Amino acid sequence: MIDANFNRCREGLRVIEDIVRFCLKLDFFEELKEVRHAVSKIEIKYEAKGILSRDSVNDPGNKPFESEKRKKEIKNLLSANFKRIEESLRVLEDTLMMIDPQDSEAVKEIRFKVYTLEKKVFNPFYKPFDLTLYLVTDSRHSAFPLEKTVEEALKGGVSIVQLREKHLFDKEIYESGRKVLEVCRKYKAPLLIDDRADIALALDADGVHIGQNDLPVSKVRKILGDEKIIGKSTHSLAQAQEAIQEEIDYFAFGPLFKTPTKDYAPVGLKEIEKIKTLSKESGKPVVFIGGLTLETLDEAIQNGVDAAAFVREIMGAKNPFKTAEFLLKKIKG
């Protein structure tokens, strides 16, 4: 048991170390190497007995499990190996307590170092974003250049921007996206591209927002990788329940009210609490969309809306800064 867990621990550490060094190109792979050496330093005392007691041929654990045959993304591979290391260290800690309490204590220290390193490694994969005031662009409504409207809205409190310029050709979307991305970077707000994973990739935008009839989430995730944000539109409770099972980072629910930007019939306000419960239980945030204006926002807030997406209300405003500021204050109460 001791031999198997030392092996499992070192193997897991080596996998993570090489992913961090060669794939993620993060500069703290040396810390993982130090942990691996610390494990080996304790292991050497038990190495001879461990090797002599090994029976790999008859070990029932040498048969592959179905879950091990499935293809893994980098994030899943990291997660699986961190769990393997942490579980092995716990077994070693408890087992060595019966043999040498000092070694057990040393293993415990290593286990807590691994927890810290796990957080460090996963930081790039967990994308902090705020859906509270979500701007969906449509430059046809604005009297100003698109990037100017977006910048003023960001100053006023917009927390995330979706570039949605369906009337433009691909090259024009790319050029608009380049300018808007520069502004979003300045204000540290994520920029998502509507529907188009290819343009998001070309721009190195923060992600995409897809609809029910766009590419499957699994394909979009394959194109963009784990670190990018993927949002998905849903228009019913059933669609929302389906979406949270996918590799999305958030979902949008609506339209709450009639809107000229969508052909869908309004879903109304009656499902808001159910949707929020679904969001909370799944850990996937929700933004409410569709027909939200200065006139309809109060009713939506009274029914539980705490993150709202706007198009015309901000894009068509004479003063996008003041409009965004006012909307944010209303949403936050």
Whether the link from the prior residue into 64 is cis, omega within 30° of 0, is no
Q: Which residues contact residue 143 at a Cβ distance below 8 angstroms, ignoring those fewer than 6 apart?
A: 318
pLDDT at 36: 95
pLDDT at 231: 98
pLDDT at 65: 57
The packing angle between helices 101-122 and 74-96, to 10°, is 170
pLDDT tens-digit series, residues 134-170 = 999 999 999 999 999 999 999 999 999 999 999 999 9
Using alpha carbons, select from 73, 156, 145, 122 the residue that is nearest to residue 329: 156
pLDDT at 226: 77
Ranges of residues in the chain with a pLDDT under 70 are 62-72
Query: The pTM is what?
Result: 0.70
Q: Which residues contact residue 329 at a Cβ distance below 8 angstroms, ignoring those fewer than 6 apart?
A: none
